[in-house]
Amino acid sequence: MIKEIRSYNRIEQYDEETTTILAENYKSIIANLGENVNREGLQKTPERAAKAMQYLTHGYGLDPLEILKSALFTEDHKQMIVVKDIEVYSMCEHHMLPFFGKAHVAYIPNGKIVGLSKIPRIVDAFARRMQVQERLTDEIKNCIQDALEPLGVAVVIEAQHMCMCMRGIQKQNSVTTTSSFNGAFEKNKTRKEFISLVSNKLS
């Protein structure tokens, strides 16, 4: 697993034992697909794939709740705070193919705010795991709720899934949108305000 320093900045260090085990498995997979693992272009592919997979799933080594708690501030602000167009890259747990898109996150403070950079960080921490989009949406919302205890949280994710574009039904332009709301955002007026603020990015 990729090691993380306490400031949550990723560093390019990989566990040697994990890399070796994964590389051997990738080598077997490539061979069983009918390829020659010894030809020039594939000789280092198992190791590269092993490191890539560790990076794509490095969210397992992060604690999203602690990331948020590391930058909480007392502030008497009662209006909606929105962070939109957060890039999302994740791995579908059903076919181990990527899905990617944008997340839009909002909360209404109740005496505490969080450093704005921490919201994209927790989105990434949850996304860099084996996921389904529905659970990812809920996990982001629940983490913000647990850390800040705000008046409400709203999360919308829109993403394209390679398991739909590259295989199966093969619909290249399909976009999946998921949402999760609680507290004040369960009221239609508040929810509409949030949607209007990000509507230029939502279909």
144-169, pLDDT tens digit by residue? 999 999 999 999 999 999 888 887 77
Q: pLDDT tens digit string along 59-97?
A: 999 999 999 999 999 999 999 999 999 999 999 999 999
Domain residue ranges in the chain: 1-56, 66-201
Residues of the chain with pLDDT > 70, as a percent, come to 91
Beta-carbon count within 10 A of 39 CB: 9
Q: Tell me, what's the pLDDT at 166? A: 83
Residue 79, Cβ density class (10 Å: 0-12 exposed, 13-18 middle, ≥19 buried)? exposed
- Let me know if the fold of 1-56 is the same as that of 66-201: no
**Considering only the top CATH level, what class is 66-201?**
alpha beta
- The C-alpha atoms of residue 138 and residue 78 are separated, in whole angstroms, by 23
**1-56: in CATH 1.10.10:** no
Count of residues for the chain? Answer: 203
Nearest Cα residue to 186 out of 146, 148, 141: 141
Q: Whole-prediction pTM value?
A: 0.89
Active-site positions?
92-95, 133, 161, 163
